[in-house]
Structures are given as structure tokens and as C-alpha cells.
Amino acid sequence: MQKLRFLKLENVSIFEQLQLEEKLLRGSTENFCLYNVGSPPAVVMGISGKKEELVHLPNPLPLIRRFSGGGTVVINEETHFLTWIFNHADTPTKPFPKSILHYVGEQVEELLPGSTISENDFTLNELKFGGNAQYITKKRWLHHTSLLWDYNPKQMAYLKHPRKTPAYREGRSHEAFLHKLKDSLSEPEEILERLEEALEKRYNVIPTSLEEVENTSPTRRSTLILEPEQ
């Protein structure tokens, strides 16, 4: 079985998490799965996002531009983050967005039986509970997912209705388009428990601490805090 370093984080900000992910993607040759919950609220945009088009201004939350593509999300302490980082040669999937999405989706489906992939999202009954973004290099790929346990409607209202939306959304508002995992699972801890079970079936899982990876060779950092201005 392929070795997989599993790093569990708690209360690490999404900005710090993204910086760590970028460092592991570019500065390591090992495979990783990261799990994080408890990040303070923020709005996170894809690398090509334009804040004027995506977020109502002024926006009281930190506005972060991540190094990967994908859409804009509002996150809070109840968002669960999952990230897979792999060498191309170490997985059976091809290093293309759809192939990676389906490879990861097989594992996410074990967290929420009956879930599926709708375009680029993880959904249950055509309601989105997981957003995705990716970054693919010559030898490695990264896929990160944000899972919605619950959300604050006031914070969700900071997002504008984007110009480009998945067809299955059918023009629905954020509230009508989203599914809270708390409505399907008994406790938030179930997400981690089911994730660990899914990983153990597929990999030789090696528990890893933050201290063990902090010395990974530093690389360029494309993740930026846009607001408040630094």
C-alpha cells in the first residue's frame, strides 16, 4: 500500500493551512492528507478571482486569495477542510482535474453515503456540501475540499451571486443551494472518523505532526491576504 502522511490540525487559520499546503506541494516528495477544523471565519477566493465581482464590499471578514483555482467560499470554525497531495506516480488516477476529482470523490462518498459529484462540487440530492479546488504541477497534484457542517447566513450574504455558476445550481440562492452536513450526520467528529476509515482502506497511513513538516523546504508563497490590506 502507498504511504500517506496524515496530518490532523485544529484551530489553524485557513491562511496558515494554505501556506503549509503550498510548501508541502512544492517542497516535499511525500504524499499527504491534511484535515483541519476550527479556522476563524474568512472569505477565500481562487487565484484568478476579482473581489469586486465576487464579494460585497466592504467585507468585514479577512479576504484571502489562495494559490489554486476554483470558486469563492465563506468559511468558519465549523468548516472541515480536507486536502490530498500526491505524486502523479503514486496514484492510479491520471493527473487531470476530472480524474483527480473522481479519485477523491470515491473517498468523500464514504463520509456521506449517497453523495455524488455534480460538475465540480460534492452534493447530496443536488445540494452542495463540499467545494473543491486543485493545483497540478509537473510531478505532483493537490486537491483541497471544504466541507460545510454549518454556516452563518449573515456571513454567507457577503458573497455576490457569481456570473458563472454550475448549471445544476439553476439560479438558486446560497441558502437554497447548500446542504449542511449537520443535517445528515449526528456529530461533527463523524467526519474525521469516517475519513480515517476511508484512508486506512487505501493507504499505509502514517500519523504526522505539524512539527514534523514545518521544516519542509520553503517555497514561493502565492496565497495572499487581500483584506484587510497588509
**CA within 13 Å, CB half, 64:** 24
Q: What is the pLDDT of residue 229?
A: 55
- Please give the pLDDT value at position 197: 98
pTM of the model: 0.95
Question: Model confidence over 9-59: pLDDT tens digits?
Answer: 999 999 999 999 999 999 999 999 999 999 999 999 999 999 999 999 889
- Domains (range + CATH), the chain: 2-224 (3.30.930.10)
pLDDT tens digits, residue range 51-72?
999 999 889 999 999 999 999 9
Q: Give me the residues of the chain with pLDDT under 50, please.
A: 230
Sheet holding 224-227, edge to edge: 73-75, 42-45, 63-65, 224-227
